Structure 1
């Protein structure tokens, strides 16, 4: 059985490792950290996700981790941004030294450029935002990603709030559609990547199945 719980500060390093492994080949983040896939890129991603996890989302309780019942090992993690949270890099300025280890000032400028494009495509209506979600390679196919999404969306539905994300692959979009997301439009302006925006309306605005 897969259990999903809010991450504790002690999970920060493990969550960063899980996400760095999961996103090594992601085209959006390749434009941030630079360089070919391999150990150097994964190290840069580790610094990037270490900064992300230790900033606003972890303090706000919006980082979720998935584990097997009776096992403390983190199999997957999801980083969400709540409505009204500081956008973009603003919420991560306290982690500036760690961000600079991604690829120095040049990497920080690339990250800011990518973030500006993503922010420009986000809906103006306040919403929950799935920033990142990743699963260990050894745990893929076990339903970990679906469990992470479902757990947070249950809370989102409890608030009758909408949610938004970007997805880079058809496989992931199929998963998100099963959880009520619909495709909006491609995100244009990113080097080497064109993820698709996906929106999930509040529970009260979604069509009620007949019966």
Structure 2
């Protein structure tokens, strides 16, 4: 569930443009990244199916994003953050391609996911775990079988809207993806963001079904000079 970002085309009305640096997240920045993701996804139609509106929704979203980030094995997790004056104002969570060995050893539930179960329970509640797993399976179903980088989540905080932070976050990681000759994949909930992704070389594979209240699009960016997904 890749969105929610804001296009660089939006105007910034906060006065002097601040300096934005894009760096890999330090371990002590993961919680701040989760808070930015929760802020950016508060109105996302896909995320509302995971955490409906209600009491403590922001805190529950923070817990969910913190759990999702830490559920990715550290050897394959790549979290990039946008920082202004020491504060995290944007975050992008990527998953590196699986090796053949790791794909063969893939379990239905990883040790990392089991370790985050308390966070998932605080975010979703006991009754929300199974519906969330079903929604996640619907999201995962269209992912191509070819090795690829997966942009799981990206968001920009309210204070940094219109600075081009979302674009900078994606371009930062895509430079490394292209250098390695890899492909990339994401899901997008809104046409506005899909237009931005198309400008970055992503193409739509089609709508993702099975998510009541939302129909995100699967988007693929072939490795430079490579054919499309199988």
TM-score (normalizing by structure 1): 0.89
Query: What's the counterpart of residue 89 of structure 2?
Result: 75
Note if contact 2:97-2:149 (Cα within 8 Å) is conserved in structure 1: yes
Give the alignment of 1:12-161 within 5 angstroms.
Answer: 12-36=30-54, 40-56=56-72, 60-68=76-84, 71-84=85-98, 90=110, 91-161=112-182
Relative distance call for 1:80 and 1:52 in structure 2 (3 A) is: same
**Higher alpha-carbon deviation: 130-139 or 52-61:** 52-61
Do residues 201 (structure 1) and 222 (structure 2) align? yes
Higher helix proportion: 1
Measure the CA separation in 2 of the matches of 1:41 and 1:88.
Answer: 28
Query: What's the counterpart of residue 22 of structure 2?
Result: 4
| Superposition deviation, residue 54 in structure 1 | 2.7
Query: What's the counterpart of residue 196 of structure 2?
Result: 175
Note if contact 2:64-2:124 (Cα within 8 Å) is conserved in structure 1: no
Residue deviations 1:133-177, cap 9 Å, x none?
000011011010000000100111011111010000111111111
Note if contact 1:7-1:58 (Cα within 8 Å) is conserved in structure 2: no
Which of 147, 151, 164 aligns to 2:185? It is 164
| Superposition deviation, residue 205 in structure 1 | 2.5
* Structure 1: 4+ residue segments shifted above 4 A: 85-89
List runs of 5+ in structure 2 lacking aligned partners. Answer: 1-18
Measure the CA separation in 1 of the matches of 2:135 and 2:108.
Answer: 10
Note if contact 1:88-1:116 (Cα within 8 Å) is conserved in structure 2: no
Query: What's the counterpart of residue 209 of structure 1?
Result: none
Kindly indicate whether structure 1 or structure 2 has the higher relative contact order, using CA contacts under 8 Å at least 6 residues apart: 2
Q: Alpha carbon RMSD of aligned pairs, Å?
A: 1.9
| Superposition deviation, residue 107 in structure 1 | 1.7
Note if contact 1:130-1:163 (Cα within 8 Å) is conserved in structure 2: yes
| Superposition deviation, residue 60 in structure 1 | 3.8
Count residues in correspondence: 202
List runs of 5+ in structure 1 lacking aligned partners. Answer: 207-211
